[in-house]
Structure 1
């Protein structure tokens, strides 16, 4: 039996240890492994030998992997040789795309999964051998055809010679007979040789057919022009679920998801003749299941038509495993805790990013270190005993300290698992920085101590009750109670019925809702009513199970009495202040109209005979206006008094609102001496509704009078009525002095006037009256104002429909 010819595999890496690792992984394939330490050395190897596959490191000094791949593809003899890039650094998608753009068949990231690498290389070895075998068969067939043509030519020459011999038959019979025998012998030999060639070709075809049919991976041949299946093996029938007849009636588009068919057609349109292709695609089984397949293609002719031989390797499970492995790797690398794999000699073989965050060392630095370098409590001499303890217990957890790169010592919680992998012993170690936990514990102890001290010296009573509201614990009992006299009892056993019911209601609400509360309550103790500030919160155990309530209460009886006295004093001060402001306002506002009335009356009394009729009427008007102002002032005071005492009445009656507004505007224009036109606009259809005409007149008169009073001469006042289904809105806009933001906070306080009113007369009662009248009707008032620009007041009153 002829031994199987080994194929060449080229390993290219500038790191000897990486070459050694690749050699160790691939030596079980039993092939010829050729190592090159640089791109230049790899190119020299390609000049001397042919390779089934090239494993090429990306990151190399001098000529890197991408440059080397470009040089390999530029050489005709190696432009189809499969290249697998291997890297631990260049992980970005840009580098991956660059690798595939240079003709790479794969781009693997370290750490490499051995089974995946071996599977990929084995597939390319198989493909290389099959290609070589087909090439050899083609060469043999070509040689046989040439030889056959040569023999045919010889035969023709022999026949020509025979013809010539026939012409000379009479004179050369014996010579011709001899030559004929020789020619016949040669022909028989040629026929026998041709039969041998045909037999070899038949055996080659049988061997190819066996490789095709017996291959454990799905294989098929399809026409590159019609995309129809020409042949499929049993593995394809079994894996995809179609029968052979179904396959042969289909095209390769039928095993692709519909959304990927355009991508397939585009790839086929860009197909370069003579180049074998490799890639990963999605296929769809007969039952609709989507699978990921690794496709290897080989182009050739079938009966003169372009066709493609396809080897499909289902990598769905492998891809899931790879994704899970990547997710696991990412989770470990991203973990907050420092995670490391340690050999039995104490050296680190893997560390995650948490080690850098906790210790300050880079990954490369950590991989050259051992446990004693970061654990002050462990030395080279004590590590063997610690390893035996780890191995014996398989799992240990303890608190210790670690040392950072800057020398700082910090506490850690260490968890170690003993593991065996590929015949080697490892410890998987997780270290959590518990510095904050220690600080929190210290702070908690200090806080508890402060709390105990505070409670001891505080009038606060703290206690717990279970879900039945029985006292389970009390600290600092007051009011003559003792711990023994309270624990185990209910409020009904300790307090009068009404007080107990009040306390139980508050606590039961917290038990029901799980939401804490703080309330002021009271109870009778020894015939005296005592007030308490009571806080009630739900109480949970360590398992977060609801077990009752925790309460804190403080006797605030004395504080409450002090507050009541303070409020009474403050109310008395406010009353005196209002009285003084009222007396001041009244003495001024009453004196002015009374002075006007008295002066005009005296003039009329002594000068009436000398004056003309117009002068007498003018003085009479002065008396009337002063009397009206005095009446309005008294009405405002009475309105506020009735509102404060609850005697202000609301008596709605049906009125024609638009007509009422027109009359009010006319009255104001006639009665006021200021030359400020009022523009009235009504929007919407006024519904039939009832209003208290007296209250409404007081509201609008005050607002319009203010707009006129605080506007410059000729300053226009806009009065708008807006009618809607449920409410009516009055808007009064002026161009007056405006109101500052500070004054807007006190607008509705009795006697308050703006700081910018200067000498403009007023009582500070108008807006207070408006607010009281609106409150009685459920109305609202809002205001927008800017100093020096003007003011817009908006009043909204709900409708009282007939």
Structure 2
């Protein structure tokens, strides 16, 4: 009998190869055995002692062992006994080969050691090869079965891993979608409703979301059911009070841990549900439920109750994990909602506070400005009166200057508000900086002379033209020079201009005054910052407004000082332009009497202002009818035609809008608003009422006369 294993084809997997252990102390016998078995095409391992054979068995498994009986050291029987003691080789087939013909003794001993055969030499090759082939075939088939079992096990493991990965991917996809859905709304209740809809039908046939109030009572806030028609039933579920702790959701709130019942029968319903609610619960048909805690900001604020209605359904660890992850994402969404709501409330509070501040400033401005108007008006009247003695001219000028200073302080408050809110508007045109500097110096000259300060002026810049709002830029120079005068008790003030780098000019105002300490120097441009310099008076707004105005003109302003008692230097840098200013128009005569007797309706509720303006306008030749309230003004407007309405905005019985509309409808009248309210919204409001001009109290009489003269010219030309 011969054995010829089938060779694999090119596309087949290479077959297994068995190992055969040949043990004999004689090389010639090993060579003979090798030649006999070589045709089996298996792996032949040859060793010459029992010890060496045992070492080979530690490294691999063998299909069969051919073992010589007579060997020095360990003989074949002793070697076989040791082989059988090892778990791994206790069943390995052993064929004894011996030249001793003591059949009964040797054979019985060999079989007692677990040998499968006992062959005497000389060996018949075909017989030995056939016997070995049987054991090789058995080994290979056994190994093939093992391999198939391992491959099957590996396949099952791969399938399980793939299924787990798919399940995990599905869960992650669901949670990612849940995160998007939960974060889609910034409304608290809507977020919880979205959460309930995510649970159904992924984790339950119906779901309830509960919240705990400050007293510890449960309240239903959201429900979802696979059948939307059943949601009405869910909303009828009664919730226990603090003294009814049997409810599953309440247990979750108390423990902070999930509460699961995978079998809901009459006993469970009787345990957890009050008797009056049991019919409703039976109608819903629960078979299993799980309640998990809902946390926000680290505290349990309620629970998510998930309910199955299918027979045999249950909640396993994976379901609870997914529900917990869903609750965690809901907590993040709720935190975002709370953060948004708190931010929104803070913003609304800030806006309300800002509006209150604006209202306060507007009212403060109105209340402070209104009494100044009759003062200025009477001062103008007295200045125009040639009978006033020269000895009173100076006191009148002092009064005028201080009234204007108070008006300037009020303007500083309003300017700071306009700059801070981005509502400061510039009417830019090409101006001569040197001309504005000279004007500012002239305004401050009385104060310079009163303190005996020496003034040095060196306006050397060759390109003094910039694009700016002339009034605002002159305000900058006036503030800087006024500050220098204020903080200099004796010595000098130097005003210079020079060309600067990159098409700029540099204006410098240097004084020898009290100087500025190092700690204060970094804060001089902050609003209300005065420190010890505050002893000179003022609100500490001048430099803050000046800095903002300079920056609005794309310029820079810096203050330096060598310290207290060493004076200070203010440097203003502005970009220059190549254009020249347009030729100035000739000013109209300041005190030209009105021609054509312009008819004016004056609406002013402040008695002194009403009286002083009426007197001043009549002295200038205007025909004035005055009213103290809207009702009286409407009566006058119904009976007479007027060329101009001069009106306050803050009136006791309403706004001047109906008066403006009435006089405009009769005669196309121009309107000039006079108001202590000078905010941007006040100016916009007066325009909305139909007024063409808005003058802020105390009234600039010169500007008022310009408007009246212009209206008179239009009246004479028939252009209204």
Specify which structure has the higher proportion of strand.
Answer: 1
Check whether TM > 0.5. Answer: no
Normalising to structure 2: TM-score of the pair?
0.31
TM-score by length of 1: 0.28
Structure with larger RCO (C-alpha < 8 A, sep 6+): 2
